Structure 1
Amino acid sequence: MGVANRLDLTLRLVQGADRISVSELSQRLGVSEMTVRRDLDALERQGLVRRVHGGAVATRAREEGSGFAAREPWQAATKDRLGAAVAALVEPGSRVLLDAGTTTVHVAEHLAARAPLTVAVLSLQAATRLADRPGIDLLIVGGRSRPGEHSFVGPLALRTLESLAFDRFVMSIGGVHAEHGWSEFSLDDAAVKQAGLAQAAATVAVADATKLGVRAFSQVAELGAVDTFVTDAAAADDATHPAGPRTLQALREAGVDTLLA
């Protein structure tokens, strides 16, 4: 296991427990306690965990209460893997709507390899990643930029989306729940996603495994509104994500293709 992936898993294990010991992390990860301490020190410097006697506790803010910059370091290696997997599903020559979010920024990084593409983006971060990339015809949807997120929302964004048609919508999501479907923490973000779903021939949703079993504030759509869901392999591990296997099964029963990256 590479260092970045080990850090991701360490953080996932800390986040999933009220408190976890160095010895337990060592056993779960198959590395020495010295390595665990070094990894916890690195995560603490990023503000993602807090060291306590004999172990660590998570300090990550709840998703709905933290901005893009605060969430960006969370599981960066996992999100990059997801980004590559989603980009591989995009056919050259497609018209793509790319949602806002920390994971879709990684999708943007990998889309250049799928050129030529027309890509409409819903965030300033994605626009920056794709600007001046050869073979990428970049469209910025516009609208109001949400403070802290730099995602485009509001009536102007909705009117722009309603005037366009896409082959594929790459949708990030705040939560996916077996009974309650796809949901978001922001009403504005939920409205933009609903417009994207309506204007795309197919939709790929992407999220790391921590989003499975989560019911956020505003429902976006029923499970079956999405064609493909890409998440990381940890979603199938009920030891770290108790709601993961059940949510994946519900998605499959709803006709959603699931891809574990």
Structure 2
Amino acid sequence: MDAAERLDVTLRLVQGADRAAVTELAARLGVSEMTVRRDLDTLERRGLVRRVHGGAVATRSRTGAGGFADRADWSAAVKDRLGAAVAALIEPGSRVLLDAGTTTVHVARALTQRVPLSVTVLSLQTAACLADQPQIELLIAGGRARPGEQSLVGPLALRTLEALAFDVFVMSIGGVHGEYGWSEFSLDDAAVKQAGIAQSDRVLAVADATKLGVRAFSQVASLAAAHEFVTDRSASDSAIHPAGPPTLDALREAGVVVHAV
């Protein structure tokens, strides 16, 4: 793996264990202890881990806490891959509803290579990414900008969605659970996602592997509500994400096509 991906995996291993030893990380990653120490120093400078004797401990939750700006740089290399993979599944000429979230910003950037498109966005960040892009018809859902997240929610957003029809809804998600289904940390965000599902012919869910096995506060829908799910390949590695493999199995059993990239 390249340096960026190695940093992502190192962060996930520390977050998954709460405390990880340099020796364990080196063995898991197949690199020298010196390389692990340098990577941990880099993550500490970014405020993502705290160095302790012999290893590191996590400094932030992996369950979605914090606002958009707080999470925007987490696992950026992985989210670039997810964004490219999602965009590749969308045909030019499609009417796309693009959800809010850090991952969908990466999707928005990749969609500029899939034009022409009509894209309706549910966040101010994705709107900024697609503004003035050639051959992209950009529509911004009305609504209230939720502080911190800058997602567009509330009655105005719901009424906008109910008046439109989409070929595909690119849905980001806070939690993916085998029994609980798709879920979000905010009631407002969950309501907007439910409207997006109802108005779309195809639901393409996307989330990095840290979301697998998570039951967030508000249930959005059962797993079968989505047609496809894009996640990163570490989801199948139980050493990094113990809940990953059983959640992927549940998705497949529900008829969801899984793409691990």
TM-score normalized by structure 2? 0.98
1:33 maps to what in 2? 33
1:189 aligns with 2:185: no
Residues 202-242 of structure 1: CA distance to partner in whole angstroms, max 9, x if unpaired? 00000001111111000000110000000011111111111
* Worse-matched range after superposition: 74-83 or 54-63: 54-63
Displacement of 1:51 in angstroms is: 0.5
2:249 aligns to what SS in structure 1? helix
Alpha-carbon separation, structure 2, partners of 1:244 and 1:65 = 20
Query: Runs of 4 or more off by more than 2 Å in structure 1?
Result: 61-65
The alpha-carbon distance between structure 1 residues 154 and 201, as it changes in their structure 2 partners (threshold 3 A), is same
Alpha-carbon separation, structure 2, partners of 1:63 and 1:144 = 24
Alpha-carbon separation, structure 2, partners of 1:133 and 1:31 = 42
1:81 aligns with 2:89: no
What letter matches 2:141 in structure 1? V
1:61 aligns to what SS in structure 2? coil
What letter matches 1:86 in structure 2? V
2:201 maps to what in 1? 201
Alpha-carbon separation, structure 2, partners of 1:63 and 1:242 = 14
TM-score normalized by structure 1? 0.98
1:153 maps to what in 2? 153
RMSD: 0.9
What letter matches 1:197 in structure 2? I
Alpha-carbon separation, structure 2, partners of 1:74 and 1:60 = 11
2:125 maps to what in 1? 125
Alpha-carbon separation, structure 1, partners of 2:186 and 2:162 = 20
The alpha-carbon distance between structure 1 residues 79 and 64, as it changes in their structure 2 partners (threshold 3 A), is closer
Displacement of 1:64 in angstroms is: 4.6
Alpha-carbon separation, structure 2, partners of 1:208 and 1:162 = 28
Give the fraction of aligned pairs with identical amino acids, expressed as a percent: 75
1:260 maps to what in 2? 260
Displacement of 1:142 in angstroms is: 2.0
Alpha-carbon separation, structure 1, partners of 2:65 and 2:224 = 28
* Worse-matched range after superposition: 33-42 or 190-199: 33-42
Alpha-carbon separation, structure 2, partners of 1:24 and 1:242 = 16
Displacement of 1:72 in angstroms is: 1.0
Displacement of 1:32 in angstroms is: 1.4
Alpha-carbon separation, structure 2, partners of 1:105 and 1:3 = 22
Query: Contact 2:47/2:59 (CA < 8 Å) preserved in 1?
Result: yes
Displacement of 1:63 in angstroms is: 3.8
| Equivalences for residues 44-55 of structure 1 within 5 A | 44-55=44-55
Alpha-carbon separation, structure 2, partners of 1:18 and 1:174 = 20
2:101 maps to what in 1? 101
Alpha-carbon separation, structure 2, partners of 1:249 and 1:25 = 27
Residues 85-137 of structure 1: CA distance to partner in whole angstroms, max 9, x if unpaired? 00000000000000000001000000000000000000111011111111111
Displacement of 1:62 in angstroms is: 5.1
| Equivalences for residues 167-182 of structure 1 within 5 A | 167-182=167-182
Alpha-carbon separation, structure 1, partners of 2:88 and 2:81 = 11
1:134 maps to what in 2? 134
1:16 aligns to what SS in structure 2? helix
Alpha-carbon separation, structure 2, partners of 1:208 and 1:257 = 16
| Equivalences for residues 203-242 of structure 1 within 5 A | 203-242=203-242
Structure 2 residues without counterparts, runs of 5 or longer: none
The alpha-carbon distance between structure 1 residues 64 and 30, as it changes in their structure 2 partners (threshold 3 A), is closer
1:111 aligns with 2:111: yes
What letter matches 2:220 in structure 1? V
Query: Contact 2:15/2:61 (CA < 8 Å) preserved in 1?
Result: no
2:251 aligns to what SS in structure 1? helix
Alpha-carbon separation, structure 1, partners of 2:242 and 2:227 = 24
